[in-house]
Structure 1
Amino acid sequence: MDTLSDHGWSPIHYAAYKNHVSQVERIVESTGPEILETLTEDSLQNTPLLLAALGGREQMVTLLVNLGADVTFVNQQENGVIEICARYGHLNLIKYFVNLDNPRLNVWKRLVAILESDVENDILCACDIIFKMTTRADDVLSYSMDHFVDGGLVLGLIGMLNKNLADDVKKSALNVLKSILSNNLAKRQLMENKGTEVLVSLLLKKSSNLLPVLMETVCELASEKDFTESYSVNILPALVKVISNITYENKDSVLLPAFKAIGLLARSSAVYQEAIGKQAGLISVLVQLYKECQSETLLVSWSAAVGAVAGENPPNQNAFINENIVFYLHEMLRSRYKDVKLSAVKTLSRLADGNGQAQKTIIESNVVTPIMQLLKRNQSQHTQEVIVETMWVLAGVDSETQRTIAARIGVSLLVEFLASPSSKLNLIGTRGLSVLLQGPYDLRGAVASSNGAHHLVQLLRSNREDVVLSAVQALRHICLGVGYIPHNKNQTMVAVSRGLKLLIALMTQSQSECIQVEAALAIAASVQGHPRNLNIVCKNAGFSYSPILQLLASPNEEVRLLAGEALATFAFNSSSQQKAITHCGGVQWCNFAPFLESANASYRAHAAFQLVVLAKIIPDKDPSYSSATGIQTLVGVLESSGSNNTIALAADCVARLSHSRTGVSEAMVSIDVVNLLCQLLSSASDQVQGSAAIALNFLSFNHVGERQLLKRLREDPHLMKALMYYNKKQKWPTHFLQRWTHIRELNLTLNRNRKKFLQSSAAYTMTKSKNRSGGQTAAFYT
């Protein structure tokens, strides 16, 4: 626009420009409304309305429009009220013209049209006005974004960004583009009109002035799923080039949105997450950028990007592990900033999730120690949730590793989680206790001291099915340990806390068969070896074996197996409960036969135990046949299974049966089960060793079993060390200690007697030989 000149102005032009309202009113009244369209006699040929708009005179503009001035008139430079207001930044006047809602005055299209100008200053002014109109939250302009998009703003910005303009002009345009990309139609138009190609070309220029807003624009696009799947083919190579060899003065302004964009792209689509992993050099460069992250914010953003790329994607997880990402995350755990530490913990979780090898590598790097320190120093619920969820992810699916992690957390803290209002902590607390108590370590006393039974009973009232199920399972394990060794204090506390009543309700009324059968198992564990609890259950009007027997017909194989386990636990060493089960309908051979033939060895072990316990009440098979089949199946599992968990289960079943009815332990001893269990004492699995040691303890009460064990101890003295180690380490009940002390003393006595016998026998043989040889000595050892 040319420089404004007052030559050729009439009095109404002066009055309009100077905002002399009363003078304009008198002029129009005396000469008529036609004077409102009088043009200046200069090169611009402006009307009074255009001059009032140029001066930002809101009162005058309102007056002239009300008097009938033409709002659509444009001067010799094709500038109307909208163009003039945009150039001089009169946003309030533009707001006024928007409110006029004049169909002949399309504010949106007029502003967009300015972007086609060749004058950079005009473009800057238009971008500034549009940016303000699309980011303001007032009622009048809140709908302007849709109008701008309909008016072709996206195409206008793409065309402008393709021009050879100064960086500050393009930056202004990118700010507008970023602001309107929250509109889905704007995103669609940008992608369908090769807007992403324009952005990529600008990224490759690596302009330090444009990169920050470019990266933020990419972030806005990355939140659109269609962008990642169809229109972003070239964005990854450009991102790699941008973040490689960082030399920008303000690195944070580039890296922060870059990390955010990578994270958004990875989270938006599994396909794109895979593409990120396959993009040459991206993961390597991303890992090395840790060294460029000096601020707390940048470290957190970097860690989040790594986690997003790695999450639930084993190839990406392995690629990060190979790039030694764990070392840098370990460093973050030593940071003085809590947010940095928590971010590292979350990223470790995503690196390990579902990846056994990654879990093993991370645990071996000793990151668990600083994570546990962070857990013990922070009591906030959110922090505890993040940390223990990560710990449980690191534990994976291997029960030995889970037990190790649960032991690191500790019984007291796990019990604290039970009392938390957080369902996440409730779940990990119950699962951690369950896995700990299934091991050979006797930690039930610690649970009793922490009042764990009471808290577990309280969780039975939870409205979350997964929490209830996990709590029921934990209740079973705190009451009954390996070898069916009951814990009287925990059993009593379950009853005192009204847990038996709640469990019976769950068994009979729950809509979930899994909860029903687990509740039955928990009740059976609570009454095993506890006459008072058994009396409470039997007197409860709601309790009956019928619901458990009905579960034997469930379509769910796991439910059927556990229903048999519940019945066997009730019937264990209890003829009265066996009769009660028979009275309610009883069991048949067909309830167990499918499991005996299962390819799953643990199913076979469970079914074998159930057969032996329930042999007397299986009417369609001879009890001796049922018992023999069960015992042979158990021994077969011990001999052939390749799973430590299954072997430990089979040894546990042997331990249980070793102190059941008369004749069972004799039958097992007769088929060399003692020798098999002694071999298991050299297993690498603590669970296997512990279960085998407990089973050997019970079998040693059988005279033949005791002699077989003593024979093995003489052949391999290290076995006694292993037995005594587990006896001391696991803190078993007193009768275990007494039994192993007796075995040890007996073994030592036998060894001493054997040595004396050998010495006396050797002396006798030497004397006899001397007599025969006429004084020559020859030694013979028998």
Structure 2
Amino acid sequence: MDIEFDDDGWTAIHHCVAADRELLMSIEKYVTTNEEYLEVETKDKFMRTPLLLAVEKNKTKSVEKLIQLGARVNAIDNLNHGIVEICAMTENLELLHHFIEMNHADLDVWKRIIKFLSADTDNEAEKAALILGRLTKDSESEIKCDNPHWEPFVKTGGISAIVKVCKSSCGDNVKSLNVGILNNIIPYTSVPDQFSKAGGIKVLLSLINRGLKGAYTPALNTIREITGSSGELAAQVNDAGFAQICVKILNKPDKVPVDALANAVLTAGNIASVSKSLQNALSGTPGMFEALHSLFEHPQFQTCVQLLMALTKTIGKIVENNAENQTMCIDAGGASPLIMVSRANKYRDLQTTAINALYLLSLNNVHATKRILDEGAVMPLMQILKKSRALSLQEAISLTLWSLAGNDINEKRFMASQMGVNMLIEFLGVAGSSADNLNSIGAAGLGVLAQGAHNKQKEIADSNGIQPLVRQLRSSNTNVVTSVIQTLRHLCIGIGFVTNTQNQTVIAQSRGLKFLVALMAHSKAELIQVESAITLGAIALGHQENIASLRENPDFSFLHMIKLLYSNNDKVKVLASTALAIFSFNSVPQQKEIADCGSVRWYNFAPFLESKDDIAAINTAFQVVVLSRVIPDKEPAISSAEGIKVLVDRLEKTTNDATRALAADCIARLAHTRAGVPSAMVSIKVVQHLCNLLKLQNEQVRGTAAIALGYLSFDHAAERELLHICRDEPQLIHAIKYYTKNHKLSPAFLEGWKHCMHVGLPGKIEGVSEYVHGLSQKIANTFMKPPKELNTALQTLTEEPGTSRSHSHHQSSRASQLLATIHDDMSQIQARSMHSSRITRHSRNTIPSSQNLIGSRSPLSQDPGPSISQQSLVSSVEITTAP
């Protein structure tokens, strides 16, 4: 039976398919009556079968009925469109989903739709890209990257098709839509790598570089995803010239969407995080830091959290552990914008990120640290720290402040003081993701506060800081444990090995001894073992109960420390001998116990005495003096002498404040050990060297030097020399008294100084020693006395201030020398007595006061006493004084 067509070229079945109501029974009747109806084509320009017409009209049930009746699913019309292409042209995503799920053997949906991407006309290519963009887009569920269509698209060659389109001469809109498809699938596994292999990275960057309209956002997001997927791909993006393109984009912020700017910045961060060479590649790109910093100041972006977050993250990644980049960033003005953003109290995550960037910018870089400090970063950060209870923010601020303190103990002490003892103790109790950093800073902060001339050992103990420290000995973090061990040591001993008995007792009662012995005996890390041994020595130093507790512990033995003397790590060797030295310090019984263990030999120490490392040499010098009696292959006197010489030599030559402080501390310790050691140090001018340290700005150095001088002042020779120096520079006595108010200072020295003040000895006069000038003031009053009275007066003057005439043999010798000199010239003095008297009267009106001599009013200027001129003194007598 012939099929009839109407004037439009349609048959009855075509009208049934296109009807508003789907006439499924009529469709079936026509097909069963005449099978030719199933594939009959319209006689119009489209020439479509009933199935193709049903797809165009979105008649899903009719489509299903026709396919059920046997219609060809791969039929095409006069435009070379099949059911897949028609779905694309009509944007019928639902029906296209239906065909995909049908998975008909004669219909390869993915192959056809991907091929359609490269259609001859831009209109068709756009339609294909639009439908694929919708197919590959994530569902609106909360679970991202759960779209089921990305994998068949990729397996069917979708990525290569996209790259081909982007390289073609098609319109910009088509290319932008293809970039959008790529943006949808780029987060999925293997997609970035396949895109790279297809040569897509250079193609995509070229589109970005020429400013493809509508492609900035998806293209830069895709590049960000690629660089974040692997270091190798990030390197490829960099090699393709991303850095220059990035600077170009950042320099025209008004023409680029904010999210595109953010993605460009984040891409730079991804590249920088791969390696130092890529960091340098970015920082070496002209204008990179300037472009990044300019966005902070752009009025449009000052409240844009998305972009500010990207900027702070990326700057942190570019400068992290890279001193050159830190310096370049800071010199380009990087500190100020980060400090500004760190004050953004409304946005905690942004605030935390900015502060973390400051930390990475300052870490181990003195130049950057100084610039950040000069910008006034500390006080705002400290205010935020004290107000915030957010652990992540506290962690970021604490790390930054500690980094800004650098390696200088005085700066660290300032930072710790600003944080406060209570806050540092709170840090010790923190658990969770921020625990390790806060625990470590808490312990380290308490450690620096426990050191120094004016330490806070008592305040920390009174604030119940010892128990949290002891609990942290069980931490799994090595840095935390090491910091805690060192802090417990500082809580027990101060400068000169002055012990805090109360803290030693509390640590022992808190089971600190038990934990430390276990760490010394069983830790797998040698540094933990040796640090534990040193701290055990500090807790036991001079504390008989703790010493007894150690002896009762089966795990404790000096053999552990001796074994560490033979470590392959030089630092461990030096620390092991330090532990032995602390246990031996002023303790003959423990020296014998160490000697009984054996294996301590001179060669354990000799190499370090000549080391270029001043810290190692100074520590070893102290050790050989203390341990001289337990080193069997070296005479104690010789080992002590060598140690003292090295110690004083290093003190004289070093210019490092930390080294100076350590050397002065070791001298303070040795000043109250066995007899003869202080005198030996004094004989090689240690007093003068220590007095020189009192003139430095470093608080730790001045305090340690003052305390060392305080202990040395109990030696008669040191006392005399110190008085002599203080007469030249009276301001030094104030430093000595200030730093030794909680330590020891010889009463004889203080009496001597009072005597100087009483007689009115002024400061230094050019050309004459202070000591001689001081004596001259009293001699002037005795010139007219008989020889017998003069002898008595001179003998009194030459005695050490505050002591009796029989105080020492050396004093008598000194008096005799002075008397002999005076007697030799007595006739000359008497002959010129009248002349001297006139000069004396004249000098009272002309001699400079001590206030003018030293530039400021001193105690000496309060009672200048009688004096004679320098000319009169020199022409009358020559007095030779002891050093």
TM-score (norm 1): 0.91
What's the counterpart of residue 655 of structure 1? 668
Structure 2 counterparts to residues 264-663 of structure 1, below 5 A: 264-292=270-298, 293-297=301-305, 298-339=307-348, 340-421=350-431, 422-585=435-598, 587-663=600-676
In the alignment, structure 1 residue 238 sits paired with structure 2 residue 251: no
Paired residues of 2:356 and 2:400 also in contact (CA < 8 A): yes
Paired residues of 2:9 and 2:42 also in contact (CA < 8 A): yes
Paired residues of 2:713 and 2:722 also in contact (CA < 8 A): yes
Structure 2 counterparts to residues 78-117 of structure 1, below 5 A: 78-117=80-119
- Offset of residue 361 of structure 1: 1.9
- Offset of residue 378 of structure 1: 0.7
In the superposition, relative to structure 1, how do residues 16 and 621 fare at CA in structure 2: closer, same or farther (>3 Å)?
Answer: same
Instruction: Give the letter for the 2:327 counterpart.
Output: N
Instruction: Give the letter for the 1:323 counterpart.
Output: A
Instruction: Give the letter for the 1:745 counterpart.
Output: K
Task: Find the aligned partners of 2:751 and 2:338 in 1 and give their Cα distance.
Answer: 52
Task: Find the aligned partners of 1:479 and 1:217 in 2 and give their Cα distance.
Answer: 59
Task: Find the aligned partners of 1:737 and 1:285 in 2 and give their Cα distance.
Answer: 64
Instruction: Give the letter for the 1:14 counterpart.
Output: H
Correspondent of 1:673 among 658, 671, 686: 686
The 3-state SS of whatever aligns with 2:47 is coil
The 3-state SS of whatever aligns with 1:604 is helix
Q: Deviation string for 1:402-442 (max 9, x for gaps)?
A: 34433333332222211111111111222233344343331
Q: Deviation string for 1:243-265 (max 9, x for gaps)?
A: 214333x7524422232232223
The 3-state SS of whatever aligns with 1:43 is coil
- Offset of residue 717 of structure 1: 0.7
Paired residues of 1:265 and 1:272 also in contact (CA < 8 A): yes
Paired residues of 2:565 and 2:576 also in contact (CA < 8 A): yes
- Offset of residue 192 of structure 1: 4.4
- Offset of residue 208 of structure 1: 5.9
Task: Find the aligned partners of 1:92 and 1:627 in 2 and give their Cα distance.
Answer: 94
Moved more, 635-644 or 584-593: 584-593
The 3-state SS of whatever aligns with 1:312 is coil
Instruction: Give the letter for the 1:325 counterpart.
Output: G
- Offset of residue 520 of structure 1: 1.1
Instruction: Give the letter for the 1:24 counterpart.
Output: I
In the superposition, relative to structure 1, how do residues 363 and 580 fare at CA in structure 2: closer, same or farther (>3 Å)?
Answer: same
What's the counterpart of residue 17 of structure 1? 18
Task: Find the aligned partners of 2:746 and 2:648 in 1 and give their Cα distance.
Answer: 26
Q: Deviation string for 1:566-618 (max 9, x for gaps)?
A: 11111111111112222333622222222223222221211121111122222
Structure 2 counterparts to residues 121-140 of structure 1, below 5 A: 121-137=123-139
In the superposition, relative to structure 1, how do residues 580 and 751 fare at CA in structure 2: closer, same or farther (>3 Å)?
Answer: farther
Moved more, 234-243 or 189-198: 189-198
Paired residues of 2:344 and 2:351 also in contact (CA < 8 A): yes
What's the counterpart of residue 146 of structure 1? 151
TM-score (norm 2): 0.82
In the superposition, relative to structure 1, how do residues 654 and 300 fare at CA in structure 2: closer, same or farther (>3 Å)?
Answer: same
Task: Find the aligned partners of 1:713 and 1:356 in 2 and give their Cα distance.
Answer: 36
- Offset of residue 375 of structure 1: 0.8
The 3-state SS of whatever aligns with 1:301 is helix
Paired residues of 1:769 and 1:778 also in contact (CA < 8 A): no
In the alignment, structure 1 residue 762 sits paired with structure 2 residue 780: yes
The 3-state SS of whatever aligns with 2:283 is helix
Instruction: Give the letter for the 1:240 counterpart.
Output: V
Paired residues of 2:694 and 2:735 also in contact (CA < 8 A): yes
In the superposition, relative to structure 1, how do residues 153 and 696 fare at CA in structure 2: closer, same or farther (>3 Å)?
Answer: same
Moved more, 491-500 or 507-516: 507-516
Paired residues of 1:697 and 1:739 also in contact (CA < 8 A): no
The 3-state SS of whatever aligns with 1:247 is helix
What's the counterpart of residue 262 of structure 2? 256
Paired residues of 1:229 and 1:271 also in contact (CA < 8 A): no
Task: Find the aligned partners of 1:495 and 1:504 in 2 and give their Cα distance.
Answer: 11
Higher CA-based Rg:
2
Instruction: Give the letter for the 1:439 counterpart.
Output: G
Task: Find the aligned partners of 2:168 and 2:64 in 1 and give their Cα distance.
Answer: 38
Instruction: Give the letter for the 1:109 counterpart.
Output: K
Task: Find the aligned partners of 1:774 and 1:134 in 2 and give their Cα distance.
Answer: 114
Instruction: Give the letter for the 2:710 counterpart.
Output: N
Instruction: Give the letter for the 1:271 counterpart.
Output: S
Moved more, 532-541 or 251-260: 251-260
What's the counterpart of residue 29 of structure 2? 26
In the superposition, relative to structure 1, how do residues 777 and 645 fare at CA in structure 2: closer, same or farther (>3 Å)?
Answer: closer
Q: Deviation string for 1:231-251 (max 9, x for gaps)?
A: 543332222222214333x75
What's the counterpart of residue 710 of structure 1? 723
In the superposition, relative to structure 1, how do residues 6 and 59 fare at CA in structure 2: closer, same or farther (>3 Å)?
Answer: farther
Paired residues of 1:134 and 1:141 also in contact (CA < 8 A): no
Paired residues of 1:674 and 1:709 also in contact (CA < 8 A): yes
Instruction: Give the letter for the 2:418 counterpart.
Output: R
The 3-state SS of whatever aligns with 2:253 is coil
Instruction: Give the letter for the 2:550 counterpart.
Output: V
In the superposition, relative to structure 1, how do residues 741 and 57 fare at CA in structure 2: closer, same or farther (>3 Å)?
Answer: farther
Paired residues of 2:339 and 2:355 also in contact (CA < 8 A): no
Paired residues of 1:724 and 1:740 also in contact (CA < 8 A): no
- The total of aligned residue pairs comes to 772
- Identity rate, percent: 35
In the superposition, relative to structure 1, how do residues 176 and 561 fare at CA in structure 2: closer, same or farther (>3 Å)?
Answer: same
What's the counterpart of residue 700 of structure 2? 687
Gap runs ≥5 in structure 2: 1-5, 763-770, 786-828, 841-871, 875-883
Instruction: Give the letter for the 1:73 counterpart.
Output: A
Task: Find the aligned partners of 1:303 and 1:520 in 2 and give their Cα distance.
Answer: 43
Task: Find the aligned partners of 1:65 and 1:130 in 2 and give their Cα distance.
Answer: 24
Instruction: Give the letter for the 2:497 counterpart.
Output: Y
Task: Find the aligned partners of 2:719 and 2:197 in 1 and give their Cα distance.
Answer: 83
Paired residues of 2:473 and 2:485 also in contact (CA < 8 A): yes
In the superposition, relative to structure 1, how do residues 743 and 14 fare at CA in structure 2: closer, same or farther (>3 Å)?
Answer: farther
Correspondent of 2:163 among 151, 158, 161: 158
In the superposition, relative to structure 1, how do residues 595 and 6 fare at CA in structure 2: closer, same or farther (>3 Å)?
Answer: farther
Instruction: Give the letter for the 1:676 counterpart.
Output: H
In the superposition, relative to structure 1, how do residues 157 and 647 fare at CA in structure 2: closer, same or farther (>3 Å)?
Answer: same
Structure 2 counterparts to residues 180-191 of structure 1, below 5 A: 180-183=185-188, 185-191=190-196
Instruction: Give the letter for the 1:20 counterpart.
Output: L
The 3-state SS of whatever aligns with 2:627 is helix
Cα RMSD (Å): 3.0
Moved more, 285-294 or 487-496: 285-294
